[in-house]
Structure 1
Amino acid sequence: MEPSEFIAKWSESTLGERQAAQSHFLDLCRLLGVQGPSEADPTGETYAFEKGAQKTTGRSGWADVWKKNSFAWEYKGPGRDLEAAYAQLQQYAPALGNPPLLVVSDTRKIVIRTNWTNTVTEVHTFELSDLALAETRQKLTWLFIDPDRFRPTLTREAVTEEVAGQFADLAEALRQQGHAPLIVAHFVNQLVFCMFAEDAKLLRDNMFTRVLETALAGHGEFHELASDLFSKMHSGGRLGLEPVLHFNGGLFSDENATALPLTHDQIRLCLSAAGRDWSAIDPSILGTLFVRGLDPDKREELGAEYTSRDTIMTIIRPVLTEPLMLEWQTVRDEITGRIDPAYQALAAELEIAAQFPELAEEIREVRGRLTASAQLQLFENLPKLRKHRKLDQVRGSLRAADRAYREAREFGEEQYKNFLERLRSMRVLDPACGSGNFLYLALNELKTLEWQIMIEGEALGFQRAFPTIGPEAVLGMELNPYAAELARISVWIGEIQWMLRNGFDINRAPILRPLETIENKNALINADGSAAHWPDAEIIIGNPPYMGAKLMNRRLGREMTRDIRRLYEGRLPGFTDLVCFWFENARTMIAEGRSQRAGLVATNSIRKNTNLNVMHRIVETTRIFAAWPEQRWDIEGAAVDVSLICFGNYPTDAVILDDRQVAEIHADLTAGINLTLARPLAQNVGVAMLGIQKSGPFDIHGDLAREWMAQPVNPNGAANAAVLKPYWNGDDVTKRPRDMWFIDLPLGLSEAQAAQYEAPFHHLATTPDENGKSVRENRQDLEERAHERWWEPHWPRQEMRRQIEALRRYIVTPETAEHRVFSWLSYPTLPDKNLIVIARDDDLMFGILQSRFHELWSLRKGSDLQDRPRYTHTTTFATFPFPDGMTPDLPLEIALARPEASAIAAAAGELDRLRQNWLWPEGLWTVVAESVGGFPGRRVAIDERSAGELRRRTMTNLYNTRPEWLTAAHDELNRAVARAYGLASEQIEDEALAMLLDLNLARR
């Protein structure tokens, strides 16, 4: 068909919708050279006219034309409302598999709207005359063969991020003008909501844009014009002669109705932003703008955080969507299991009854009670039954089959309505809701589920109703009042968008229903010190605040931290990260039957050390049915590893760990061998310890230390060398020695006595940290014992020092490092807290620790910081089962008497010798003696070329490249240690871990 022929034919057509739709579509296919439904798919399974289920109206189909994964197409007669056709398509898109393109047309116009998830909707309109253009025909061809060509390049998040950047600049400028940060944040979100409201057609005729234009033209002050609008939006009424809908909800309440003044440039910025389409804005922008609108110094304090849509949906699907769909599938199967056999039996009886003219009236009455779909299917694919029965027998059988069918339908309708009521009564709680991202997505999912089930109910022949799930379905708790308000706004916007996106009108009296279910309160503790009450909710979701146990005193205050920990005494250890209390509350609600499932985000430290206790409690009283232990998450440019954990009552036995099915998820979010069963061993006590925790400027560079040591003796007659020692941390092991020293004042000195070491004491008293605070000021946030004696290290580790002073050398390993390596140090060099100290000086201990067996154990029993494993001596060394006869509690001579010991010691000594030779090649360095203090000499490069080569030779680089000689040395050591365990030298990882766990359990 030629374009001119197509245009001529359909420009003159007066056919109505029903007569023209299929003919027009097939002509269009011929024009574009693509196949129509019957040619491409005679079965109608992937491409069909009148796609869908029978409706109660008797009309077939949810779309006039449908092509799987391509489009749904609805026709209207010429001059009819295409927006109504679009609303109809929106309502049935879920039942059609949410095709990426929704098309509405009459015979003179075609309108294509994109429907990809989480993208900005684009509209493409083609008039009949446009078909004369090859460009138009090409685009319409893509509709059939390459719909991805229409995919929008902008996501909702991308638009949100771009606009958020503009408003961040506005917020910063308003703060600079002297407005309080929280007032600025609130005002910016009023602006955003107004832009959304006018694009969603809730503010008529671009009312807010006209306010901006009027102010810019000098016909009124912006803050006066906007304040009038805000006031009317709160209560409803008229602004001049124009009606303003009743919004309510608190965002524009009387105390919040006064707008801030804007400069002309700021009004222009708002006008530019208002020119965008805000109707599809991602409500998460409210939280983003809130955070960016605050004083940066207050963001962390308020806990205003943003969680990505993908992260949230990873949790919502397993705790909310999937279980409900499984439940509905069970209910639907029960319904069809009753209705289908009853229908088949009735169909058979009707066919027999059709042979008796005397039953014609009764047959019509029975058929009138059938659904439209049942009437059309009645005699399809049923064999002709030729049974010879008497009239009375046939009448009786027909009535019995009719009664059974009606009873089956009544049962089905009751089950269907009961499930909808169950869905509508469901409540979802976010007890740390922030600005509401979890809540609005949960509400969106609930509304989508309700509508999808209603569509399926319609397909089963039940009457379709209006969706009723609303914001009351989501409950929240948030400590910050502005964030709580934003959560309400996010939920409201989310609901409005869902209704409009799916073709429904919204409630308008008021537009924003009260949301008292989102409370401004502390989720853990009441003002009187009692435990905060969480409302009953079937589902608990959220992203509780991340705050390490060490920071709670500083951030929350000592009193509140103490009171919170007191509430959980006996359930959680005192030194527990803040997030654990949310997990414990959720676990308790599930155990008490007040909730069914929970899905929460935590830093990945939730599964390690003292935090592991709450995970043990979860697996003891319920189960973890889905988890993602290591999810990289970028917040404000910083990469954080989080764990996503779903636990509680799941309707099937399925267990998913990192998107793969496993038999069980253990407390440490692993599957397979359950190393959480391992417990500390008495044989290992008192050997592994932390280094010194300084908490202040106690470390100084060697140049400064030598300068001080060269000074005259102090007023107390002691030289500074008496209170200075070489000092190593993890970087000295994994990189190159930094030549750092430690101010080591004797413990127990009074402040006056300590001040007699003039230069070191003055340095401690006056040196600020990166925040401009001295050690004395920083200690104010710590425990009493810490800040009373600020000139002493926070944790001096006296027992550790006593042990290493008695040894010729001692073993250290970095607490956090890419590779698990052990090295030797010797007193007077002191270890920092970033080094774990093992107070032994024998090669046997060194070799066992450096073996693959201990490395495997440490990787599973330790924690990690981003991508670097962390060695935790309380869970790793304390639980590690050393070979029989070589445990740390035995005298060394007994351990060395074991026949395997000498091989381990020899292999360990050789490994250390080779590594040291590589780190310090002969000819590149020399020893420089310390001029005072009697300290050992230090190695320095002989020239700049040598210094460059030595800088390259780090322990990390060595293990990254792992040369053959290093692999061979480790293999020799691993074979020797394997023989000590009575194993073959070639041992796969799981077998080795299983053996170690069995050994741990046997020794307890």
Structure 2
Amino acid sequence: MQTPTGACKGCIYNINIYHSVHVAGARAMVEQAIEAFIARWQGRVGGQERANYALFLSELTDALGVPRPEPASAQAEDNDYVFERIVREPGRDGGAAHRRIDLYRRSCFVLEAKQSRQHGGAKDLFEATGVPEPVARGRRGAERAWDVLMLNARRQAEDYVRLLPQGHEPPPFVVVCDVGHCLELYANFRKDGKAYDQFPDRTGFRIYLEDLRRDDVRDRLVRLWTDPLSLDPALKAARVTRGIAERLAHVTRRLEGQGREPQEVAQFLMRVIFTMFAEDVELIPRDSFKTLLRHCAAAPERFAPTLGQVWEAMDQGGYAIGLNAQVRRFNGSFFKDRAVIPLDREEIGELLAAAAHDWRDVEPAIFGALLEQALDPDERRRLGAHYTPRAYVERLVVATVMEPLREDWAAALATAERQRKEGRAAAAIKTVRTFHDRLCAVRILDPACGTANFLYVSLELLKRLEGEVLEALADLGGQEALAGLEGHTVDPGQFLGLELNRRAAAIADLVLWIGYLQWHARTRRGGAPSEPILRAFGNIVACDAVLASPPGGPQRPEWPQADFIVGNPPFIGGKDLRGRLGETYAEALWTAHPHMNESADYVMYWWDRAAELLTRKGARLRRFGLVTTNSISQVFQRRAVERRLGASAPVSIVMAIPDHPWTKASRDHAAVRIAMTVVEAGSKDGALREVAAEHGLETDAPVVELRETVGRINADLTVGANLANAKSLLANEGLSSRGVSLHGAGFIVTPFQAKALGLGRRAGLDAHIRPYLNGRDLTGRARGVMAIDLFGLTAAQARARFPEAYQHLMTTVKPERDANNRHSYRLNWWLFGEPRSGLRPALEGLRRYIATVETAKHRVFQFLDGAILPDNMLVAIASDDAFHLGVLSSRTHGAWAAHAGATLEDRPRYSKSRCFDPFPFPDASQRERAEIRAVAEELDEHRQRVLSEHSELTLTQLYNVLEKLRAGVRATDLPPPERHVYEAGLVAILGELHERIDRVVAGAYGWRADLSDEAMIARLVALNQKRAAEEARGEIRFLRPAYQAGRSDRPDRQRDLEAGRQIEAGLSASFAPSKPAFPKDEVAQTATIMLALLEGGAPVDASGLAARFREGRRAERRIAATLDALARLGAVATTREAAGFSLRRP
């Protein structure tokens, strides 16, 4: 409390007394309100809770001092904090049913009370089986009982999250209320609504009424109601991370400045960090290490010997003089090296400041961040290392690891419920314990683990699931059911890593142990871990995951067997492999992976290896999920994906995010967009998740909202029409190519230099020094440069005919080429590196041709003068026909190109092999061709005219403004600079011309101009397949018949290939498979029934399901009992009107 300026000492004393009394009085009032609430409601359980939940929750808000729910409005969209919030559930028949959330607070929680209505209301449980009201559950001990209604309510609440209306992002909390007894909290801060975990953990997620007397519990509930995101532990961890990193980075720089090796410094600091952590979780006495640091700050010469003896004691167990305490045996391999770097007073002070933070709340991923700061920047670039935000890590780990494990747990839980209902309590306990055994045997591999971010998050999420399993055991059988599990738990040895960087590998091992011990400290109240505290599992291996070099030559290394593979391999483009990793390494890599094309990105070697392991006979691997650059959908990366999707033993992409932002929080973040893919063996549908909104990317907690489409995911990461199956057409062959690639800046000259080199004076030189344009010249303003193009001349000819130009290249280009790794570049130094010999004859004789910038924000096609030499960042199309320009400029082709191409960072990329070669041009009539030509000519002339008249304008500026107008921004609302572009560039006319082109081109195809992009693409893919079949019969619709017809000799070969495909299709016959046997194992029975419901269409009953199995009616009783159990848990939906069950999707 601030003191008024100039106040006397007596006044200050009185003010402080008043403040203390006021605070104490307010606290007393809160405590009185809580006591009254507890006295009123405690013990009011049983049948009355269904009528009382609204009153109970309203009085709870009063006791907590938060607002009561508001009256519901007739306008559902206004009901952001109400009881009985209506949500719509789409039906299979296209209709929708109304369901009601007990209590909803937008952006905070969905709350469901335990069976809050009598039978017959909107929330019926399955009525075929009576659901008895459980007796009042005890506080925490042996009286606690299995409560299927609470499990059902949790499932209902999670289901309602999925049904929230558009614009309502999934809340961070789901709450289950047992009136008069407790609240259960489940959290998901990823905002994807997929899986809610016990919050904060197994020991604290259930809040009993008497817990409301605790300040921390009341604070948690108040924040749940008013600021739920403040409860996200990752935010607090991020703040602590920055504070600690600043301190330790200072020490790191000082020590490296003294000539210390970075590895020595990193290992030393990590031992210091772990000691700080051990102190705060009381593995060594509380505050003992901080006391040691304070004493050593006064006498720095004591620091090294004192700390060295402490680490010796921690390694072996024994008395630590510097801590004045007996310490446990840590062992492992971490303290085997006890070297201490001597520090001065200031450096010890920095460590003391870092130790002052509360390390119990630190995110273990902090250690990865600290290590990355210690890594040399050159090495970081060479290895392609990236740090992934936790929210993104969780997104991939949940889809790869947790979704299948939670499906397994749902099957085990339903089986246990069925057994319990049948009076087989021992069998139910055994079912849950068996699942726990399996959970403790799961192995997860990150084959590029870095400092273990993915492995640590996997560990934490498995520990959370383990908490639910242990809770179920306790509810089924009390503490007796948990007997013998003290040392049987999910531990770091299950999390396997491969990592090239030895320092990172060592830290990865430590990160896992810190995460494990942190969880132990939170959930094992007062219990100490068994000794040795650290164990040398050898689960993190320092090695190259994709290349081994034994005496027999380069090979692919074997990976450890695992149930799941997840991670973020290094991002290095295929074209950069040789330069970034060295020619020797690149050649060895290609030798070890001969089936991979040399243009594939480095990450694809991990993707392909994981896919190969997934389909091995008897494979243990169930799924893999990897982060890649979003170029995975490009042609050179897609080839690896296509090969695996189309193999005789295929894989399927079961989850994909094609284009996901990367964090901007890091100072040296990678300026890329990423893709995530999760893969299973077999042919299956998947969930395509695309970014719907994103914000906060510059913060520690970026938010990315996704929308989902379910279907078969193609190799280009689309659902629906498979653009990856579109075939290159002979009709388009030979007309499109990237421009020339110089490989030598000396080829570029100004007009003044060109004149000095003989232009206008040396006969024929005008054909070899030509205007030269690159991508920026087209989208911005042209530089007005020229290029020396001696294609077609030998060195002797060039020297004899154009000596000045030849000498210029000898001086400016040859020295650079002499150092180039490629033999052809060194040998032909006077020629462009990539002269595009295939494009030149196509352009010969044309007065103009079409060009587009390969990677650009806006896909714009325009005519260039035939004399202009295009750069390799331009895609040239050898046609001077405005009909082709018009079709390419239409929305039809734009949609095709956007889906068929890829992106670089956030800019669409135009690949001639995927965007142009397979694209089917319309079979337009002469009238339609003339109309398209006329509008296209007008469009091209309009753009050239406004750009020539206004030198301050660029093509990008014109289309930036046009994009805003298309988004609904009015011209009058544009800011002044863009308003000028609109006026001077006549952008409204530009938009009108494009609309006309869109209409006439759509008409030429025979469809409406307002078709969705997806519908147009589906029709274009079908047209591509039709044209490919025509070409196989020799019917080719050449775009330039006079040029193309004489040079194509491929129809016979295409016809043979097509005939072969038809023969294969005729020989393949489909036979109805025999019915499968119904499993004997009870959990397998439940899983089989759940899978059948998931894959089925309409709701089905026990009789209908039994008919699908060989046993038929003999299995019906078991199926019916399982369906009943699933219904009681809320895992299946049914109504009085429907005679069957349908699985609720998670």
TM normalised by structure 1 equals 0.74
Q: Are positions 1:663 and 2:733 aligned together?
A: no
| Deviation digits for residues 483-534 of structure 1 (CA, Å, limit 9, x no counterpart) | 1111101100010011111135343422111131211111112122122111
Q: How many angstroms does 1:151 deviate by? A: 4.7
Question: Where do residues 905-920 of structure 1 align in structure 2 (5 Å cutoff)?
Answer: 905-920=933-948
Partner-residue secondary structure (3-state), 1:643: strand
Which residue does the alignment assign to 1:547? 572
Q: How many angstroms does 1:113 deviate by? A: 6.2
| Deviation digits for residues 213-245 of structure 1 (CA, Å, limit 9, x no counterpart) | 233212525344333333433333333363343
Quick one: structure 1 residues 915 and 711, their matched pair in 2 at CA, closer, same or farther if it must change by over 3 Å?
closer
Q: Are positions 1:174 and 2:255 aligned together?
A: yes
Query: Does the Cα contact within 8 Å between 1:524 and 1:564 map onto a contact in 2?
Result: yes
- Separation of aligned partners in 2, 1:215 and 1:146: 46
- Separation of aligned partners in 1, 2:144 and 2:208: 23
Question: Where do residues 493-504 of structure 1 align in structure 2 (5 Å cutoff)?
Answer: 493-504=514-525
Question: Where do residues 556-571 of structure 1 align in structure 2 (5 Å cutoff)?
Answer: 556-570=581-595
Partner-residue secondary structure (3-state), 1:559: helix
Q: How many angstroms does 1:633 deviate by? A: 0.4
Which residue does the alignment assign to 2:634? 608
Q: How many angstroms does 1:725 deviate by? A: 3.1
Q: Are positions 1:998 and 2:1046 aligned together?
A: no
Quick one: structure 1 residues 603 and 234, their matched pair in 2 at CA, closer, same or farther if it must change by over 3 Å?
same
Partner-residue secondary structure (3-state), 2:350: helix
Partner-residue secondary structure (3-state), 1:662: strand
Which residue does the alignment assign to 1:647? 679
Q: How many angstroms does 1:166 deviate by? A: 3.2
Q: Are positions 1:762 and 2:811 aligned together?
A: yes
Q: How many angstroms does 1:163 deviate by? A: 2.2
Q: How many angstroms does 1:536 deviate by? A: 1.6
Which residue does the alignment assign to 1:573? 597
Partner-residue secondary structure (3-state), 2:388: coil
**Identity of counterpart residues, as a percentage?**
30
Q: Are positions 1:515 and 2:522 aligned together?
A: no
Which of the residues 427, 437, 440 maps onto 2:443? 427
Corresponding letter in the other structure for 1:193: F
Question: Where do residues 895-906 of structure 1 align in structure 2 (5 Å cutoff)?
Answer: 898-906=926-934
Partner-residue secondary structure (3-state), 2:306: helix
Q: How many angstroms does 1:57 deviate by? A: 2.6
**472-481 or 333-342, larger mean C-alpha shift:** 333-342
Q: How many angstroms does 1:73 deviate by? A: 15
Which residue does the alignment assign to 1:79? none
Query: Does the Cα contact within 8 Å between 1:692 and 1:797 map onto a contact in 2?
Result: yes
Q: How many angstroms does 1:419 deviate by? A: 1.5
TM normalised by structure 2 equals 0.66
| Deviation digits for residues 517-555 of structure 1 (CA, Å, limit 9, x no counterpart) | 211111112122122111221111001111111111122
Query: Does the Cα contact within 8 Å between 2:252 and 2:374 map onto a contact in 1?
Result: yes
- Separation of aligned partners in 2, 1:34 and 1:608: 66
Q: Are positions 1:675 and 2:728 aligned together?
A: no
- Separation of aligned partners in 2, 1:555 and 1:479: 15
- Separation of aligned partners in 1, 2:850 and 2:225: 67
Corresponding letter in the other structure for 2:714: H
Quick one: structure 1 residues 333 and 302, their matched pair in 2 at CA, closer, same or farther if it must change by over 3 Å?
same
Q: How many angstroms does 1:583 deviate by? A: 1.2
Corresponding letter in the other structure for 1:489: L
Which of the residues 964, 968, 971 maps onto 2:988? 964
Which residue does the alignment assign to 2:784? 739
Corresponding letter in the other structure for 2:941: R
| Deviation digits for residues 317-364 of structure 1 (CA, Å, limit 9, x no counterpart) | 12222222222222222222233143xxxxxxxxxxxxxxxxxxxxxx
Identify the structure with bigger relative contact order (alpha carbons < 8 Å, sequence gap 6+): 2
Partner-residue secondary structure (3-state), 1:452: helix
Partner-residue secondary structure (3-state), 2:1014: helix
Q: How many angstroms does 1:699 deviate by? A: 6.2
Q: How many angstroms does 1:603 deviate by? A: 0.7
Q: Are positions 1:29 and 2:34 aligned together?
A: yes
Q: How many angstroms does 1:561 deviate by? A: 2.0
Quick one: structure 1 residues 99 and 974, their matched pair in 2 at CA, closer, same or farther if it must change by over 3 Å?
same
Quick one: structure 1 residues 854 and 951, their matched pair in 2 at CA, closer, same or farther if it must change by over 3 Å?
closer
Q: How many angstroms does 1:185 deviate by? A: 2.6
Which residue does the alignment assign to 1:413? 429
Query: Does the Cα contact within 8 Å between 1:735 and 1:956 map onto a contact in 2?
Result: no
Quick one: structure 1 residues 678 and 111, their matched pair in 2 at CA, closer, same or farther if it must change by over 3 Å?
same
Task: Specify every segment of 5 or more residues in structure 1 that has no aligned partner in the other structure, as ranges.
Answer: 12-23, 76-89, 117-140, 343-407, 767-773, 887-896, 925-946
Quick one: structure 1 residues 302 and 143, their matched pair in 2 at CA, closer, same or farther if it must change by over 3 Å?
closer
Quick one: structure 1 residues 727 and 102, their matched pair in 2 at CA, closer, same or farther if it must change by over 3 Å?
farther
Q: Are positions 1:340 and 2:421 aligned together?
A: yes
Quick one: structure 1 residues 875 and 196, their matched pair in 2 at CA, closer, same or farther if it must change by over 3 Å?
same
Task: Specify every segment of 5 or more residues in structure 2 that has no aligned partner in the other structure, as ranges.
Answer: 1-19, 61-113, 115-134, 155-172, 182-196, 691-706, 967-986, 1029-1146
Q: How many angstroms does 1:804 deviate by? A: 2.6
Which residue does the alignment assign to 1:202? 283
- Separation of aligned partners in 1, 2:862 and 2:953: 21
Q: How many angstroms does 1:306 deviate by? A: 1.4
- Separation of aligned partners in 2, 1:853 and 1:68: 44
Q: How many angstroms does 1:142 deviate by? A: 4.8
- Separation of aligned partners in 1, 2:253 and 2:180: 48
Q: How many angstroms does 1:430 deviate by? A: 0.7
| Deviation digits for residues 643-678 of structure 1 (CA, Å, limit 9, x no counterpart) | 111121699977353342412222211122222221
Query: Does the Cα contact within 8 Å between 1:94 and 1:452 map onto a contact in 2?
Result: no
Quick one: structure 1 residues 685 and 33, their matched pair in 2 at CA, closer, same or farther if it must change by over 3 Å?
same
Which residue does the alignment assign to 1:538? 563
Q: Are positions 1:841 and 2:880 aligned together?
A: yes
Q: How many angstroms does 1:198 deviate by? A: 1.4
Question: Where do residues 968-987 of structure 1 align in structure 2 (5 Å cutoff)?
Answer: 968-987=992-1011
Q: Are positions 1:270 and 2:351 aligned together?
A: yes
Partner-residue secondary structure (3-state), 1:821: coil
Which of the residues 899, 906, 913 maps onto 1:860? 899
| Deviation digits for residues 53-92 of structure 1 (CA, Å, limit 9, x no counterpart) | 68773367999xx9995999999xxxxxxxxxxxxxx999
Partner-residue secondary structure (3-state), 1:725: strand
Corresponding letter in the other structure for 1:250: S
- Separation of aligned partners in 2, 1:566 and 1:581: 12
- Separation of aligned partners in 1, 2:179 and 2:276: 31
Question: Where do residues 869-888 of structure 1 align in structure 2 (5 Å cutoff)?
Answer: 869-884=908-923
Q: How many angstroms does 1:980 deviate by? A: 2.9
Corresponding letter in the other structure for 1:641: R
Query: Does the Cα contact within 8 Å between 1:215 and 1:222 map onto a contact in 2?
Result: yes
Query: Does the Cα contact within 8 Å between 2:629 and 2:673 map onto a contact in 1?
Result: yes
Count of paired positions:
828
Corresponding letter in the other structure for 1:676: A
Quick one: structure 1 residues 296 and 71, their matched pair in 2 at CA, closer, same or farther if it must change by over 3 Å?
farther
- Separation of aligned partners in 2, 1:810 and 1:618: 39
Query: Does the Cα contact within 8 Å between 2:212 and 2:218 map onto a contact in 1?
Result: no
Which residue does the alignment assign to 2:1144? none
Quick one: structure 1 residues 303 and 913, their matched pair in 2 at CA, closer, same or farther if it must change by over 3 Å?
closer
Which of the residues 548, 561, 568 maps onto 1:526? 548
Corresponding letter in the other structure for 2:687: V
- Separation of aligned partners in 2, 1:516 and 1:27: 56
Which residue does the alignment assign to 1:112? 216
- Separation of aligned partners in 2, 1:320 and 1:966: 50
Query: Does the Cα contact within 8 Å between 1:328 and 1:419 map onto a contact in 2?
Result: yes
Query: Does the Cα contact within 8 Å between 2:38 and 2:210 map onto a contact in 1?
Result: no
- Separation of aligned partners in 2, 1:430 and 1:541: 5
Corresponding letter in the other structure for 2:661: R
Query: Does the Cα contact within 8 Å between 2:747 and 2:788 map onto a contact in 1?
Result: yes
Query: Does the Cα contact within 8 Å between 1:612 and 1:667 map onto a contact in 2?
Result: yes
Which residue does the alignment assign to 1:478? 499
Quick one: structure 1 residues 560 and 956, their matched pair in 2 at CA, closer, same or farther if it must change by over 3 Å?
same
